[in-house]
Structure 1
Amino acid sequence: MKERERRCDVAVIGAGVCGCAAARELARTTARVCVLERENDVCCGTSKANSAIVHAGYDAMPGSLMARLNVEGNALMYELAKKLQFTVKNIGSLVVCTSERGMGGLRELFARGVANGVPDLRIVDRDTLRSMEPNVSPNAVGALWAPTAGIVDPFALNVALAENASTNGVEFAFNAPVTSIERDPGGGFALETPQGRVIARCVVNAAGVYADQVHNMVGGDRLEITPRRGQYMLLDTTAGNHVRHVVFALPTKMGKGVLVAPTTHGNLIVGPTAEDIPDKEGTDTTAAGLAEVAEKCGVAVAGVPLREVVTSFSGLRAHRAEHEFLIGENPSVPGFVDCSAIESPGLTASPAIGRMVADVVRGILGLEDRPAGEFVDTRRGIPSMNDLSFGRWGSLCEENPLYGRVICRCCHVSEAQIVDAIHRPVGARTLDGVKRRTGACMGRCQAGFCTPKIMEILSRELPDVSMEGVTKAGPGSELIKGHVKDAIAEEARA
């Protein structure tokens, strides 16, 4: 934001999947919508570091918001993927039981899923399970089969929601953490950010692990969010076929436990742990945490090829003691809408959460729909070279020779895709921004080969960004300190 003050109808705090889903749904109305994000890009918090699972909906307690929005979000996700062109694969999930004593817990999950309205659930026996998943643990005695579950590219989902929202008029402000919220004399809210003041009639709090801080700025009942850290290991694409479905062990009170699943990029993901920590930026991994992942992944799946690990990471879930989403208008602060405590299955539920939040705001402000045909509900995705035939790739190269210049060898990402990612609505401005939009840097070499070329492209395509100004993930993560020749010349002069 260049202006020192901006006015809008709705200010959405947070550009994760839920904030962007809400903004996109609000773009169906005549409201002026602005998204304020503390980081340099969309998808920089919980939305970028999770299991990337489309959960079926059998885990949450019947009658809870988690249960309802999980099942609704699951049903919406597959159609949304077609409209916004991000990758989702309906591969189903298995909850594996490794003892006869545990079968009662499996039946409880089945009954809960039926109560939640999850379609086509069934319990499969040992032989059926082994035919479905040959690498299942030899101790397995049965499993809960949920065919509506799947996997999704969480980066592409978040980016697609943001791009489509932007196309429909939603404005985004980055590096804009909300530092205070006060009542505006006009009846709305005045939000202070380093980018200037924002005056809004209504505020949506989708700030992830910081949602309690935002909530507590406006008064009323206090909210406490505990960051729950989950550590993961990501294996190379050579291990991507070790399982065919999302494989869970029976869940515990701390969550769904350590899973083993393919990813939409062809890797194998293993994790997460579940550890409550005080640090809202505590995304470090630990030797103990990764050892726990390595040990527990073998409970449901045999022979996980951990020698194929290419990276490890951790993410933070926004947990509160009630273990329930908090969505709705603050009864003590009219016009302030919480979209808070969105932990698992928040990624799956995000399309339904966006609808629910938008409906709440509609009711508060009396919003009207845009004229028929004015809202654009589709988006053109960035093509993946891995999904194209050589013939189609050749046709793209004829249209644009930059498709023939491969920048990321591990993941087959071309210069054309990177340039496209930079110039799209809410486009990439950092190395990680390119990574999230194209898949570059995600391969075996973990950006060792392609980083210099992507930096050159960023500095060439962004007129206000020099090579020295290119960052990995925003201010403070610059990759170049200076020029070697300048340093040598300076030393010679000294």
Structure 2
Amino acid sequence: MKVVIIGAGVVGAAIARVLSQYKGLEIHLLEKNADAGMGVSKANTAIIHPGHEDDPDKYPLRAKLCVKGNKLWYQWTKELHIPAKWPGELMVALEDEDMKTAEHYLELAKRNGIPGVRLVDKDELLKLEPNVNPNVAGALWAPTAGVMSSPMAAPAIVENAVENGVRFHTETEVLGIKVEKGEIKGVETNRGFFEADIVINAAGLYADKVSAMAGIDDFKIHPRKGEYYVFDDDAEPKVTRIVHQTPTPITKGVYVITEMNGGLMIGPTAQDLPEDAKEDTSTTQEGLEFVWKMAEKLVKGLPPKNKVIRTFAGLRPEPPDGRWIIEAYDDPWGFINAAGIRSPGLTSAPAIAYYIAEELIQGKLDIKLRKKRHWNPYRKTFWFKELSREKQEELIKRSPAYGRVVCMCRTITEGDIIDIINRMKRMGIRTITLDGIKMRSGVMSGTCQGSYCRIRIANIISRETGAPLWKVTLKGEGTEYGIGDIKILLKEGVEENAE
């Protein structure tokens, strides 16, 4: 049976990995970008939510899958070697009246079966997180909340899925879905036609467009923008817990967290954009000022602004009424939507994948899935910096590239970069990009933001792939790193210019 999954964000990637456990499936994962996770999945707060913020009466599926997803990530991050930590979360009541809101979420936590959630007074709050503003009223403590390297998630999941037989097709844009006599027949793309018995739509911000191609056009998705600050790794003060204020009707609130690399991050905003603004990741003065003011209310001190190394914005696919659209259809039979997966989509992704396999494919479509006898859940990789000194010395003797540090901020070596490139090639990625390397390693995200290492990494990509330096891209065609007269400066491609 042929299965086509559209979209290699964290949800589509998770679906591919889960389905790769079953016999008799030929699985094709299509992604219009140059790599997995280059859309919604790479720019977010990176939090693994505990699941106490979704009302099981209003959003029963969202509540159920968030709680299950939180548990699954404990396992998945270990299996896939994705950096993660579990510091717990404090939902802070800024005013006395906000404690009533916190009590509401405590009740939801009980109903959703989340362990350890409880109210804490100001004294206990300050013990749990000394950097919280001492003028707040109290908080709701959720110990199962985590933080992960979210840009790494989708690439890591896809790599493991490919190792288990999934075929990954990058730079492959869906142009249409073929339906005959009420049944799915395949997908038309810019790279040809893919026959399919089942098509799963996990196209993120464009899931409404893809769904309409199959004749399901009863919903629209609009982007919701979130803006952030990121501070240098050594900027103080920091928080040890995940900290945010009690939620509002449209947002979980501004968060203050310490990222996996040790830098403080604050954000996001929650600005609804028009449907045609699905590529607008610009930041605004108003949005960033809002984030700063709200963060100042949460903690008693932020690092100085000259310690900010980056601002950025991410987009979330907001469905009608916040309702996830995870459905299998009778007409056309074989079409499944995983659309409108707004927050807590990152947390829920593994659970969404199992829900689609077990409840929709096996349940509603009545297709029996049989587990493979041999399925590899592990992504085998390592970082030179994590090895013992003895093993580092042995590795350098075998491969001197590991002795050359390329990214000083993250201590990533040339050997690490070459290993990443080789693993990307094995995945079937057509174009090795700078952002692809960045998502997998954290290079270009530290203090210098790539001013030291980017050109070095571009040269390694050029050497290892055979692509001219001026054709190395940030994230695919149209984002070439070398511009203007770079060919002439390198004394290459001069004849081509002359023509």
1:45 aligns with 2:39: yes
1:361 aligns with 2:351: no
1:28 aligns with 2:21: yes
**Residue 470 of structure 2: aligned partner:** 468
Deviation, structure 1 residue 80 = 1.3
The answer to whether the 8 A contact 2:28-2:168 is kept is yes
The answer to whether the 8 A contact 2:183-2:334 is kept is no
Tell me the distance in 2 between the aligned counterparts of 1:40 and 1:114: 43
Compared CA separation, residues 186 and 288, structure 1 to 2 (3 A):
closer
Q: What are the Cα deviations for residues 176-211 of structure 1, in whole angstroms up to 9, with x where unaligned?
A: 121111215794333111111111101000000100
The one-letter amino acid paired with 1:291 is: E
1:139 equivalent among 135, 150, 153 = 135
Q: Secondary structure of 2:286's match?
A: helix
The answer to whether the 8 A contact 1:382-1:420 is kept is no
Q: What are the Cα deviations for residues 137-174 of structure 1, in whole angstroms up to 9, with x where unaligned?
A: 12212111100001011122212210110001101111
Tell me the distance in 2 between the aligned counterparts of 1:366 and 1:489: 59
**Residue 258 of structure 2: aligned partner:** 262
Deviation, structure 1 residue 241 = 5.8
**Residue 402 of structure 1: aligned partner:** 401
Q: What are the Cα deviations for residues 315-339 of structure 1, in whole angstroms up to 9, with x where unaligned?
A: 1111112212211203432211011
The one-letter amino acid paired with 1:383 is: W
**Residue 54 of structure 1: aligned partner:** 48
The answer to whether the 8 A contact 2:488-2:494 is kept is no
Tell me the distance in 2 between the aligned counterparts of 1:453 and 1:342: 37
**Residue 3 of structure 1: aligned partner:** none
The one-letter amino acid paired with 2:30 is: L
Q: Secondary structure of 1:179's match?
A: strand
Q: What are the Cα deviations for residues 364-415 of structure 1, in whole angstroms up to 9, with x where unaligned?
A: 262432441x211111133262x44544433433443222110011111101
Alignment of 1:177-326 (within 5 A): 177-184=173-180, 187-239=183-235, 242-278=238-274, 279-305=277-303, 306-326=305-325
**Residue 118 of structure 2: aligned partner:** 122
Q: Secondary structure of 1:10's match?
A: strand
Q: What are the Cα deviations for residues 429-487 of structure 1, in whole angstroms up to 9, with x where unaligned?
A: 00001101111111111100111111111011113x22121101100011123222659
**Residue 447 of structure 1: aligned partner:** 450
Tell me the distance in 2 between the aligned counterparts of 1:199 and 1:483: 46
**5+ unaligned residues in a row in structure 1: which ranges?**
1-7
Deviation, structure 1 residue 240 = 6.7
**Pairs aligned (count):** 482
- Alpha-carbon RMSD across the aligned residues, in angstroms, is 2.1
The answer to whether the 8 A contact 2:106-2:119 is kept is yes
**Residue 5 of structure 1: aligned partner:** none
Compared CA separation, residues 137 and 488, structure 1 to 2 (3 A):
same
Compared CA separation, residues 123 and 399, structure 1 to 2 (3 A):
farther
Tell me the distance in 2 between the aligned counterparts of 1:266 and 1:392: 25
The one-letter amino acid paired with 2:200 is: V
Q: Secondary structure of 1:335's match?
A: strand
TM superposition score normalised by structure 2: 0.92
Q: What are the Cα deviations for residues 273-293 of structure 1, in whole angstroms up to 9, with x where unaligned?
A: 001112011111111111111
**5+ unaligned residues in a row in structure 2: which ranges?**
none
**Residue 3 of structure 2: aligned partner:** 10
1:484 aligns with 2:489: yes
The answer to whether the 8 A contact 1:191-1:197 is kept is yes
Compared CA separation, residues 137 and 392, structure 1 to 2 (3 A):
farther
The answer to whether the 8 A contact 2:41-2:150 is kept is yes
The one-letter amino acid paired with 1:182 is: K
Compared CA separation, residues 284 and 366, structure 1 to 2 (3 A):
same
1:379 aligns with 2:379: yes
Compared CA separation, residues 391 and 126, structure 1 to 2 (3 A):
farther
The one-letter amino acid paired with 1:433 is: G
The one-letter amino acid paired with 2:382 is: I
Tell me the distance in 2 between the aligned counterparts of 1:190 and 1:240: 54
Tell me the distance in 2 between the aligned counterparts of 1:46 and 1:440: 20
Q: What are the Cα deviations for residues 24-66 of structure 1, in whole angstroms up to 9, with x where unaligned?
A: 1111112000011111100111110000001011101124111
Compared CA separation, residues 107 and 221, structure 1 to 2 (3 A):
same
The answer to whether the 8 A contact 1:49-1:314 is kept is yes
User: Which stretch of structure 1 is more off in the superposition, 342-351 or 352-361?
Assistant: 352-361
Tell me the distance in 2 between the aligned counterparts of 1:182 and 1:104: 52
The answer to whether the 8 A contact 1:184-1:190 is kept is no
User: Which stretch of structure 1 is more off in the superposition, 473-482 or 68-77?
Assistant: 473-482
1:106 aligns with 2:102: yes
Tell me the distance in 2 between the aligned counterparts of 1:421 and 1:193: 28
Tell me the distance in 2 between the aligned counterparts of 1:337 and 1:38: 19
Alignment of 1:89-104 (within 5 A): 89-104=85-100
